[in-house]
Every structure is written in C-alpha cells, then in structure tokens.
C-alpha cells in the first residue's frame, strides 16, 4: 500500500476537529455515539483520512461495546497494529497502513472465524456503498 504523508496543517485542513482528535491524536469517541455503531448498511468502510479500504460491512458484528466492531480487515496489509501501553493497560492499537491514522484497538475476544474484535471509532471511517 502506498504511504500517504501530509503535514499537520494539511491534516487539520482536511479533517473536522473530532476526526483530527481521534485519527491524528489517538483519541477515542464516546461509546454508543458514533454514526456506524448500529449501522447495518452494506459496503466498504474506508479511512476518513485517506480513503483506503479497511473493513467490509459483511465482517461487522454487534459487540455490545458501543463502537463498530469487525472480526477482520479487508486485507491484513491494510491495517497495522502496535502495542499501546497508554491508560495503564496493554492494548493493541490499529492504524491505517496508508496514512497512519489511529482507528481504534483490536482485542482477542471476537467471534469466529478469527476470534478478533477490531473495535474502531466511527469518526475514523467513511462507509462507501
């Protein structure tokens, strides 16, 4: 995947303040507030920052956590993971491979076939039907 680099100023001009806070400053939207939490529409969830395809709606499930959850990305190379030790806990952060946007976290408590739960902020996504 081709890497996309922009200056901080370019990201601020492109994104809303909430998108910038979550995607570029590793923030989190409050649970049960995101536009895609309960969304059942088909399509591809794309990175709001760069448009890269991240998750297929067919892989979405209701985790009850308050954030859109997926059991796998469209392709493993489309997302990167890195250990996150913020907030005094060990988590695995999920970022867009193309632009480095913070998307959310992945946990080992999802459904079959992967057993993973990609817990993703709605504000980091754009659903394209």
Rounded Cα–Cα distance for residues 107 and 64 (Å): 14
HEC readout, 92-129 = EEEEECCCCCEEEEEECCCCCCCCCEEEECHHHEEEEC
Judge whether 119 counts as a catalytic residue. yes
Catalytic residue selected from 23, 50, 99, 119: 119
83 three-class SS = strand
CA atoms lying within 13 Å on the CB side of residue 38: 3
Rounded Cα–Cα distance for residues 80 and 97 (Å): 5
Catalytic residues: 119
């Amino acid at each position: 995947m081709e890497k996309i680099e922009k200056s901080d100023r370019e990201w601020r001009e492109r994104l809303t303040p909430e998108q910038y806070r979550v995607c570029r400053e590793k923030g989190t939207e409050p649970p049960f507030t995101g536009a895609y939490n309960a969304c059942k529409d088909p399509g591809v969830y794309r990175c709001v920052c760069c448009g890269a395809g991240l998750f297929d709606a067919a892989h979405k499930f209701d985790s009850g956590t308050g954030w859109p959850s997926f059991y796998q990305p469209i392709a493993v190379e489309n997302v990167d993971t890195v250990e996150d030790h913020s907030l005094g806990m060990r988590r695995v952060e999920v970022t867009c491979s193309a632009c480095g946007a913070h998307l959310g976290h992945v946990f080992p408590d999802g459904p079959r076939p992967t057993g993973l739960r990609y817990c993703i902020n709605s504000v980091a996504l754009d659903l394209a039907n």
